[in-house]
Amino acid sequence: MRLLIASFRTLSLLALLPGLALAQAGGSNARTAPADAWPQFRGNTSLTGVSDSALPAELSLRWTYEADEAIDSSAAIADGVVYVGTYAGTLIALDLDSGDERWSYSTGDVGIGESSPAVAGDLVFIGDLGGIFHAVDTKTGNARWTYETLGEIKSSPVIVDDRVLIGSYDGYLYALDVANGELVWKYETQNYVHATPAVWDGIAYFGGCDELFHGVRISDGEAVVSLSAGAYTAASPVIVDGKVFFGTFDNDVIGIDLETHQLIWQYEHPQRHFPFYSSALAADNAIVIGGRDKMVHAIEEATGEPRWTFTTRARVDSSPAASGGRVYAGSSDGRLYVLDLRTGEKLWDFDTAAPLVASPAIAEGRLVIGSEDGVLYCFG
């Protein structure tokens, strides 16, 4: 057993199967989302939270859409259409330019929480709080197929080739056939699967509510690595250049080398010790993440040293996004903040007057984010 020692915690290698470096499943190692799409939570399968789309130096409100309930789901954008889920149990498709509704799909009597849509071809996927996973036709808004898990779904889908991955509070990560929803495999953990997996070289990586960090081969669902994170982890990881970073409920952010399984660094604010629920972004050699200490933290990717912090008026559970050297971060204080990625200087903010738990989606020169009072905002 190889030990990965941190100053406050030990991470131990629990399992490693042959072939980790030779994984054959697909999945891009993209660092950014394309300029014309934000097809899934965090923009791409590595969950980097960075868009190639250029936003105006000064944002203006383009349109709003009033949904029937709170929006914790983060939007997806593809082919000029915005997709977002609501607590009323509706998946809504809107025109990106105008905000006009194209269709609305109902999940029934249960809501959609933090699960965020993912789009592939003519299908959009999302999970609901009743444990049903939905594949919906992007043109008609009709269900193509559904799959029932045994727990609520707050994880967001990730599509790799002909498979869609989804976590459930029944403790499993599922791989389903994109075309028909048939089960390909399921991987059992010891507690809820809340986080969205990040994909690197054919492996799906995610932290669990079982205090373990899992790596599962997408081709066959076999575990290739399991590390003790020593703490409950709800945040989704971000992967860049073979290194993974994620926050924990033990008030720190961890970096691990996926080739050696060695701890790279462990970051904790010296005075403010609060959990990290937000998922990090990776841009400009920095890891940027929101904290329940009301702050946005920028951490040097190579060393784990702080670059800057920015203080909001409430906790930051929303996951920040980046474009063109700027960070876009929502806060439970109701404000969308625009910060300089290098310095953390506030460049602009907008008060929605309701908590922002959903995360920004950026594409085609637009930024879309939903609020707890059920309003979807589009800036550009």
Report the chain's mean pLDDT, rounded to a whole number: 92
pLDDT score, position 68: 84
Percent above pLDDT 90 for the chain: 89
Geometric angle at alpha carbon 312, from 32 and 379, rounded to 5°: 50
pLDDT value at residue 38: 98
Q: What percent of the chain has pLDDT over 70?
A: 93
For every residue of 212-278, DSSP letters joined together read EEEEEETTT--EEEEEE-SS---SPPEEETTEEEEE-TTS-EEEEETTT--EEEEE--SS------S
Question: Residue ranges of the domains in the chain?
Answer: 3-379
pLDDT tens-digit series, residues 48-63: 999 999 999 999 999 9
What are the residues whose beta carbons fall under 8 Å from the beta carbon of 224, sequence distance 6 or more? 15, 16, 17, 19, 20, 23, 203, 215, 216, 217
- pLDDT of residue 7 exceeding 80, the answer is no
Interval 106-145: pLDDT, tens: 999 899 999 999 999 999 999 999 999 999 999 999 999 9
Mean pLDDT (whole number) for 159-172: 98
The arithmetic mean of pLDDT across residues 164-182, rounded, is: 98
Count the Cβ atoms, other than its own, within 10 Å of residue 194: 23
What pLDDT does residue 4 have? 39
Residue 44 neighbours by CB under 8 Å, 6+ apart: 28, 30, 31, 32, 33
Supply the pTM of this predicted model.
Answer: 0.94
Quick one: tokens of 305?
């040293």
State residue 6's pLDDT score: 36
- Look up residue 320 and give its two tokens: 């920040």
Q: How much is the pLDDT for 214? A: 97
What confidence score (pLDDT) does residue 71 get?
Answer: 98
| Average pLDDT of span 66-90 | 97
Question: Sorting pLDDT into bands at 50, 70 and 90, what band is 28?
Answer: low
The partner residues of 133 in beta bridges, in order of sequence, read: 127, 147
Residue 111: HSE in the Cβ half-sphere, 13 Å Cα cutoff: 14
CA dist 276 and 235 (Å) reads 7
SS3 275: coil
Least confident of 146-155, 175-184, 266-275, 345-354: 266-275
Per-residue pLDDT, 15? 41
Q: What is the pLDDT of residues 209-252, one digit of tens each?
A: 999 999 999 999 999 999 988 888 999 999 999 999 999 999 99
User: What is the pLDDT, as a whole number, of residue 26?
Assistant: 41
pLDDT of residue 29: 76
* Cα–Cα distance for residue pair 240/47, rounded to 1 Å: 9
User: Which pLDDT score, from 0 to 100, does residue 109 have?
Assistant: 86
* Confidence check: pLDDT of 202 > 70: yes
Per DSSP, 156 falls in state: -
Domain 3-379 fold: Methylamine Dehydrogenase; Chain H (2.130.10)
- Other CB atoms within a 10 A radius of the CB of residue 259 amount to 11
Is the pLDDT score of 12 beyond 80?
Answer: no
C-alpha angle 45-355-232 in degrees, rounded to nearest 5: 50
287-334, pLDDT tens digit by residue? 999 999 999 999 999 999 999 999 999 999 999 999 999 999 999 999
Q: Which residues contact 126 (CB under 8 A, 6 or more apart)?
A: 73, 83, 85, 91, 112, 115, 116, 117, 118, 133, 134, 136, 157
One-letter amino acid of 360: P
| Confidence class for position 5, pLDDT limits 50, 70, 90 | very low
